[in-house]
């Protein structure tokens, strides 16, 4: 893929660019990779690499397609098996469809220890799967022998066990170890002593680690620090030392610290050196001692295959015993011999190793593909050097299980059957599953479902998503193709899943899950008909809603999400674990209104101001105008009322919209130019008029002290690109909302400059206007004050003047805009970017690049296919366990960050119990029930509460309606009323859910669990 093509088709890579950055993307665009082995894990790696957008991928595989492959290789079809097609050649066309800018080639020769490897010199990285250990060592030595060294990765999945190895050579340079964007932190003090202790302003976390490098700017007094780099020694979360500052001037005030990304070089050992003395990542917090055992198992599988010519036969105890003997020999040869070989685990691995768990392939496919991107770009910290992971908990643990059910049957589910047995295969085939969302995670999940044969007998997969496919989706939502753009995600994804496995029972819907569909589509009875619920969502609000529905209906929920290289998996099981809402997500930081309005200190403040201006000018004002005109069509009457001092809601703003309404393109340009003056010149002058640069507060401190920055008026220059971009874009957007036609040539720089030459710009005149400086004052409170200060009568005269001078229809409806961040042709991001940087210039804040501003303003979540694949695999593994009713200790939540790389698997948080009284406790999963009748009164309900639960009910609430509260007027008279009259049942439902509080032993209200009352 050429650089030009990448720039032209940036919409395809937009989310990924936020993860990797332009430099890494360009390196990838000139890199070639070889993936050997087109089996389950090989195709996962290749798929993710092609989606990422490297220059070329070669798939090498000597094997022909088999029925066994259909359980893990989602690009193979039954026709490929029937025709005996080579796996690489059958896979390549599907990879080409994923990304037209990636060149996909194939090779069909086998790799042996005698192969001529000279062809590998054209690749920057080689990835081996399904290779013997001797071939891996042979290729690894060759990769190290050439200059520059070829990066080497190997990966395999054996049944319910996977392994990956990385060797990036003797001197691998890491340019960005974490990928985290450096944050500016303001300084409140720097000591002048041997330690040079820096304290952050307002006790803000600095987020640094000892050894990090930082640079300073805008320090007053101790100016020697500005522009210099220092190594940090962390003291606590708010302070750190930079070393001896005794030779510097005394610190006065201000200063901003920024972490410096430091390149560093790491050295890797060859595979041969890492076999008997490995460096292994430990992913599972509950299984610290397992990774070394898995490493012995990995070496033993290769040793066994080398000795006997095949892997241990599935569930054959003779083969298992022989494998254990091999493992003991391998352990004896290890540099650090294990005291406990965990033979039970080794037996499980040997019994399952000839199978393959498809979701585990997804996990390693995502992880290894990300390691490949690190190898090509130097972005993020590579694996050092082994990763071993098992999913042994999916294997039935019952010692009495019939081993015949694990025997292969010659169908597409053999790879799965060997791992989990036929009973669990049938369990999956009969599962009713509801998944919300068909985006990136949803696509990966559907692929996993198809491979596992979920809902292929009597069950059904129901999916819903009300979104349409966009071009930017194609980079990570791999079931979609360019010809699917603007088609529904759900139906398209369902069709693609059926191509993988035609036997799936799947229903695609386009409903939005929420209160509006709760009674008609996704009712309690619908949830009760599901075996499991899966979230594939991208927002917290929807997650919380789904969590509440699952708690109400006591259904297990599989929750997951990604953000760039980070991902999470949460297993939610009724009566066992906490729910999603049991833990509070950290709230997004809200900037004080006065900071954004008048005293920005960071680029983020400027972006927020620009975003607010877009909403105010091009959305809210237009909506207000249209609504006002519908309510008050007679402007003449409105004018008279305002002149007479009668305040009308919205009247003042509407009068301003009318007075400034342009009627032609040149007037739009003039209006935009005047806006420039108001925003970036007059605003600064007004602030300095109200608060002069030398203004001192009552305590003697300067008003314009850090982090406050005194503004500098920006003088408009039509030859400045940013100035002209603001005017051109603002004029376009005003023309759009006022429905004014213009031609493309009207927006050219020359045409706009010609119009600007005759624009009269008002001179600055100071206003007696209160400027909010209190950080506790909200935007709404400030706005209400501003309205009361505005003269209502002046608004009336303003409207009257407009009506008298109007030569065209000034009351015609406006066209409010919908902010769209992904369409670069609409000018929305151009407005945000130019407005942001002009405001930053006005306050002497470092300006931002367009990509960063777009990400923040559009609240774009960075995304990359590698993380999505890994997370979807982990979720699916946990889903198998939940459906099989695995005990709590077998379930795993996960947090991962592929950038570091970090994977933390841990047992889910247990459900918290609330003690109502001694001997009686409840959890969020509990629901009490009361059976009523047509003659059941409120008093009967209260009596039942007392007799069944042992409490006197102190209040009863249905939704937002208070049904009974004794101290409220008239409520005691309700005791004799029928429950059918007091409650509002949902149509078709025979029950209602009530919130009942009880009188506790100490006289205080005790909130009980929901009470389901059956009529």
Share of the chain above pLDDT 70, in %: 97
Sign of torsion over alpha carbons 479, 482, 484, 490: positive
Question: Average pLDDT, stretch 453-477?
Answer: 95
Comparing CA positions, the residue from 803, 791, 784 lying closest to residue 638 is 803
CA-closest candidate to residue 709, choices 572, 844, 862: 844
Please state, in angstroms and rounded to a whole number, the distance separating the CA atoms of residues 197 and 751.
56
User: pTM of this prediction?
Assistant: 0.93
What's the confidence (pLDDT) of residue 589?
64
Residue 679 is classified by DSSP as I
Helix (H, G, I), strand (E, B) or coil at 191: coil
Segment 670-729, tens digit of pLDDT:
999 999 999 999 999 999 999 999 999 988 889 999 999 999 999 999 999 999 999 999
Instruction: Supply the pLDDT for residue 454.
Output: 98
The domain covering 914-1014 belongs, at the CATH homologous superfamily level, to: Ubiquitin-activating enzyme E1, UFD domain (3.10.290.60)
Q: Using an 8 Å Cβ cutoff, are 652 and 787 in contact?
A: yes
Average pLDDT over residues 786-799: 73
Bond from prior residue into 192 cis (ω within 30 degrees of 0): no
Residue 778 pLDDT: 83
Length of the chain: 1015
**How confident is the model at residue 231, as a pLDDT?**
96
Helix (H) or strand (E) holding 552: helix 540-553
Average pLDDT over residues 833-843: 98
Lowest mean pLDDT among 310-324, 329-343, 998-1012: 998-1012
Q: What is the pLDDT of residue 789?
A: 42
- Residues annotated catalytic, as ranges: 594
What's the average model confidence in pLDDT over 228-239? 96
β-bridge partners, 937: 978
CA 543 to chain centroid, in Å, comes to: 12
DSSP string computed for 605-627 = HHHHHHHHHHHIIIIIHHHHHHH
DSSP letter at 209 equals -
Residue 276 has pLDDT above 90, yes or no: yes
pLDDT confidence bin for 8, thresholds 50/70/90 = very low
Mean pLDDT, range 124-133, rounded to an integer: 98
What does the pLDDT average to over 54-58? 97
Of the listed ranges 111-125, 146-160, 396-410, 820-834, the least confidently predicted one is 396-410
| Fold matches, 185-260 and 601-808+818-844 | no
Pick the CATH number of 185-260 from 3.40.50.920, 3.90.470.10, 2.40.30.180, 3.40.50.620: 2.40.30.180
Q: Which residues 6+ apart lie within 8 Å of 554 measured at CB? A: 574, 575, 925, 927
How many C-alpha atoms does 590 have within 13 Å on its Cβ side?
9
3-state SS of 859-879 is: CCCCCCHHHHHHHHHHHHHHH
**Residue pair 431/531 in contact by the 8 Å Cβ criterion:** yes
Domain ranges of the chain: 3-174, 185-260, 430-596+861-899, 601-808+818-844, 914-1014
String of b and e for 344-362 (b: at least 16 CB within 10 Å)? ebbbbbbbbbbbbbbbbbb
What is the arithmetic mean of pLDDT over 740-769?
95
Residue-by-residue DSSP string for 756-771: HTTPPPPPP-------
SS3 496: helix
Is the pLDDT confidence value at 780 over 80? no
Q: How many CB atoms lie within 10 A of CB 686?
A: 20
Residue 180 has pLDDT above 80, yes or no: yes
Interhelix angle 133-145/290-308, rounded to 10 degrees, is 100
pLDDT in tens, 972-989: 999 999 998 999 777 777
Q: What class is the 3-174 domain?
A: alpha beta
Determine the distance from the C-alpha atom of residue 657 to the mean position of all C-alpha atoms in its chain, rounded to a whole number. 39
Query: Residue 400 corresponds to which tokens in the numbers above?
Result: 């009495």
Query: Can you give the pLDDT at residue 915?
Result: 84
- Per-residue pLDDT reduced to its tens digit, 14-49: 889 899 998 999 999 999 999 999 999 999 999 999
pLDDT of residue 37: 98
Say how far apart CA 28 and CA 8 lie, in whole Å.
16
Residue-averaged pLDDT of the chain: 93
Strand partners, 488: 468
Question: Residue 785: its pLDDT value, please?
Answer: 54
Ramachandran region, residue 84 (left: φ > 0; alpha: ψ -120 to 50; beta: rest)? left
User: Could you say which of 3.40.50.2020, 3.40.50.300, 1.10.260.40, 3.40.50.720 is the CATH number of the domain covering 430-596+861-899?
Assistant: 3.40.50.720
Q: Residue 134, SS3?
A: helix
Look at strands 151-158 and 253-260 and give their pairing: unpaired
With CA atoms as reference, report the closest residue to 652 among 784, 788, 792: 792
Residue 952 predicted with pLDDT over 90: no
Peptide bond into 148 cis (omega under 30): yes
Burial class (CB in 10 A: 0-12, 13-18, 19+), 334: middle
User: 644-658, pLDDT tens digit by residue?
Assistant: 888 899 999 999 999
Q: What's residue 807's pLDDT?
A: 59
Structure tokens at 18: 């936020």
What is the pLDDT at residue 2?
Answer: 41
Q: How many CA atoms lie within 13 A of 985 on its CB side?
A: 12
Confidence of residue 787 (pLDDT cuts 50, 70, 90): very low
Looking at residues 560-575, what average pLDDT do you find?
A: 97
pLDDT at 5: 41
Give the whole-angstrom CA distance, residue 412 versus residue 429.
13
* Burial grade of 954 (CB within 10 A; 0-12, 13-18, 19 or more): buried
* Distance from C-alpha of 541 to C-alpha of 733, rounded to nearest angstrom: 31
Topology of the domain comprising 601-808+818-844: Arc Repressor Mutant, subunit A (1.10.10)
Instruction: Using the predicted structure, report yes or no on whether residue 791 has a pLDDT greater than 90.
Output: no
Number of Cβ within a 10 Å radius of residue 943: 12
């Amino acid at each position: 893929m050429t650089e030009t093509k990448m720039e032209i088709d940036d919409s395809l890579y937009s989310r990924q660019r936020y993860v990797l950055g332009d430099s890494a993307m360009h390196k990838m665009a000139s890199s070639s990779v070889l993936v050997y082995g087109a089996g389950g894990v090989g195709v996962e790696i290749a798929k993710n690499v092609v989606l990422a957008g490297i220059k070329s991928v070669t798939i090498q595989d000597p094997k022909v397609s088999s029925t066994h492959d259909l359980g893990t290789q989602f690009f193979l079809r039954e026709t490929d098996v029937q025709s005996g097609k080579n796996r690489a050649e059958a896979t390549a066309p599907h990879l080409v469809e994923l990304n037209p800018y990636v060149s996909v080639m194939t090779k069909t020769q086998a790799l042996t220890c005698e192969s001529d490897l000279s062809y590998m010199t054209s690749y920057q990285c080689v990835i081996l799967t399904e290779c013997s250990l001797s071939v891996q060592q042979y290729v690894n030595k060759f990769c190290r022998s050439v200059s520059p060294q070829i990066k080497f990765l190997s990966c395999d999945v054996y049944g319910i066990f996977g392994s990956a190895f990385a060797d990036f050579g003797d001197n691998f340079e890491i340019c960005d170890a974490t990928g985290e964007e450096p944050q500016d932190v303001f300084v409140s003090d720097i000591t002048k002593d041997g330690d040079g202790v820096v304290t952050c302003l307002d006790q803000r976390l600095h987020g640094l680690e000892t050894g990090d490098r930082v640079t300073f700017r805008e320090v007053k007094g101790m100016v020697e620090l500005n522009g210099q780099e220092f190594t940090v020694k962390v003291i606590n979360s708010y302070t750190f030392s930079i070393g001896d500052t005794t030779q510097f001037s005394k610190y006065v005030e201000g200063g901003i610290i920024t972490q410096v990304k430091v390149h560093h070089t790491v050295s890797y050992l060859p595979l041969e050196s890492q076999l008997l003395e490995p460096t292994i990542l430990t992913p599972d917090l509950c299984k610290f001692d397992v990774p070394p055992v898995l490493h012995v198992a990995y070496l033993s599988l290769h040793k066994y295959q080398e000795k006997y010519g095949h892997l241990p036969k599935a569930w054959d105890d003779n083969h298992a015993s022989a494998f254990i003997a091999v493992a003991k020999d391998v352990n004896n040869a290890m540099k650090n011999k294990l005291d406990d070989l965990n033979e039970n685990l080794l037996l499980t691995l040997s019994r399952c190793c000839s199978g393959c768990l498809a979701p585990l392939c997804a996990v390693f496919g995502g992880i290894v593909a990300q390691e490949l991107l690190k190898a090509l770009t130097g972005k993020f910290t590579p694996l050092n050097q082994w990763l071993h992971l098992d999913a042994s908990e999916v294997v039935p643990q019952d010692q009495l299980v019939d081993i015949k059910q694990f025997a292969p049957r010659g169908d597409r589910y053999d790879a799965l059957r060997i791992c989990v047995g036929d009973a669990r295969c049938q369990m999956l085939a009969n599962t009713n599953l509801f998944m919300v969302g068909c985006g990136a995670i949803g696509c990966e999940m559907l692929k996993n479902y198809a491979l596992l044969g979920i809902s292929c007998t009597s069950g059904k997969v129901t999916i819903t998503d009300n979104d349409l496919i966009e071009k930017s989706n194609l980079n990570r939502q791999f079931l979609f193709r360019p010809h699917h753009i603007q088609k529904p995600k759900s139906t398209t994804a369902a069709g693609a899943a059926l191509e993988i496995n035609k036997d799936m029972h799947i229903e695609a819907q386009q409903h939005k899950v929420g209160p509006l569909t709760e009674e008609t589509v996704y009712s309690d009875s619908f949830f009760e008909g599901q075996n499991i619920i899966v979230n594939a969502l991208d927002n917290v609000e929807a997650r919380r809603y789904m969590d509440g529905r699952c708690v109400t209906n006591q259904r297990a929920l599989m929750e997951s999400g990604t953000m760039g290289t980070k991902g999470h998996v949460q297993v939610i099981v009724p009566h066992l674990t906490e729910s999603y809402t049991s833990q509070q997500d950290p709230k997004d930081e809200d900037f004080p209104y006065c900071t954004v309005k008048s005293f920005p200190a960071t680029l983020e403040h400027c972006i927020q101001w620009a975003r607010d201006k877009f909403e105010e000018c091009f959305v809210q004002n237009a909506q207000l105008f249209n609504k006002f005109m519908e309510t008050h069509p007679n402007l003449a009457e409105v004018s008279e009322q305002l002149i007479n001092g009668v305040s009308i809601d919205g009247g003042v703003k509407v009068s301003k919209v009318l007075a400034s309404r342009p009627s032609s393109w040149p007037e739009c340009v003039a209006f935009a130019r005047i806006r420039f003056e108001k925003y970036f010149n007059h605003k600064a002058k007004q602030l300095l008029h109200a608060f002069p640069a030398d203004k001192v507060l009552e305590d003697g401190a300067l008003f314009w002290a850090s982090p406050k920055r005194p503004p500098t008026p920006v003088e408009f220059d039509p030859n400045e690109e940013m100035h002209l971009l603001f005017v051109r874009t603002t004029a376009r957007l005003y023309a759009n909302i006022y429905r004014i036609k213009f031609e493309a040539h009207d927006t050219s720089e020359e045409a706009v400059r010609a119009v600007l030459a005759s624009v009269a710009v008002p001179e600055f005149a100071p206003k007696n206007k209160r400027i909010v400086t209190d950080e506790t004052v909200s935007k709404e409170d400030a706005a209400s004050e501003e309205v009361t200060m505005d003269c209502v009568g002046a608004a009336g005269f303003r409207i009257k003047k407009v009506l008298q001078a109007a030569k065209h229809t000034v009351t015609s409806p406006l066209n409010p805009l919908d902010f769209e961040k992904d369409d670069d042709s609409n000018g929305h991001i151009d407005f945000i970017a130019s407005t942001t940087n002009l405001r930053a210039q006005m306050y002497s804040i470092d300006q931002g690049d367009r990509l960063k501003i777009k990400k923040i303003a559009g609240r774009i979540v960075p995304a990359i296919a590698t993380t999505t694949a890994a997370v979807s695999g982990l979720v699916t593994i946990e889903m198998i366990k939940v459906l099989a009713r695995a005990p709590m200790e077998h379930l795993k939540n996960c947090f991962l960050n592929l950038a570091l790389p970090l994977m933390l698997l841990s047992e889910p948080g247990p459900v918290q119990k609330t003690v109502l009284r001694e001997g009686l406790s409840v959890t969020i999963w509990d629901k009490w029930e009361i059976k009523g009748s047509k003659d059941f009164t409120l008093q009967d309900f209260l009596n039942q509460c007392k007799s069944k639960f042992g409490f006197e009910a102190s209040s009863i609430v249905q939704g937002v309606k208070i049904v009974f509260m004794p101290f409220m007027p008239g409520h005691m008279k309700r005791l004799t009323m029928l429950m059918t009259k007091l409650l509002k049942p949902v149509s078709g439902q025979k029950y209602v859910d009530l919130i009942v509080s009880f009188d506790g032993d100490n006289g205080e209200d005790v909130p009980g669990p929901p009470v389901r009352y059956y009529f």
